[in-house]
Amino acid sequence: MASIAIFTISGLGIITLFIAKIISDRREKPFFVLEIISKGDKYVRELYHRGIHLYSEGKDVGWVFFKKQVPLHSKNIWNKTLSFVNEKKVEYLNNMRDSRLLKKSDGISEFFKNMNEVEKGNGEINDSYLEDSQEEEKEVK
C-alpha cells in the first residue's frame, strides 16, 4: 500500500514539473513552482556544504582527541590511581601493625600463641586426628 502511494506521489510530482515547464516557456518568465524548487535547491546545497565542513572539522578534532588526548589523560589517571592506592596501602599496613587486635599485653599476638600450641601437639587439630586414627585401628582389628 505504501509503495503504491509513493509511486503515485512521485508520478504527480513529475507531471507537475512537466506542466510548470510548459507554462514557463509559454509565458517566458519562471513559474512559481520552479522558483520554489530553485530556492529549495540552493538551501539544500548550503546545508550540504555546511554538513561536509562540520564533518571534516569534527573528524580532525576527533582524531586528535582519541589518538593524542585520550591516551595522555588515561595514562595520567592510571598513574594517579596507582600512587593513591600505594599511599592507602602503606597507611593501612601501618595501622594494622599498630592495631590492638593483633597485640596483647605480653607482646605476642593470639594467633602466634595458638600456632605454638598446635605445633607442640596440644591443639585441637592433632587431638581429633589422633582420636580418628585410633578408632579406625580398633575397627580394623
Q: Inform me whether the pLDDT recorded for 110 exceeds 60.
A: yes
pLDDT classification of 17: cutoffs 50, 70, 90:
confident
The segment with the largest mean pLDDT, out of 6-15, 30-39, 98-107, is: 6-15
Q: What is the DSSP string of the chain?
A: -HHHHHHHHHHHHHHHHHHHHHHHHHHTS--HHHHHHHHHHHHHHHHHHHHHHHHHHHHHHHHHIIIIIHHHHHHHHHHHHHHHHHHHHHHHHHHHHT-TTT--TTSS-HHHHHHHHHHHT-SHHHHHHHHHHHHHHHHH-
pLDDT classification of 126: cutoffs 50, 70, 90:
very low
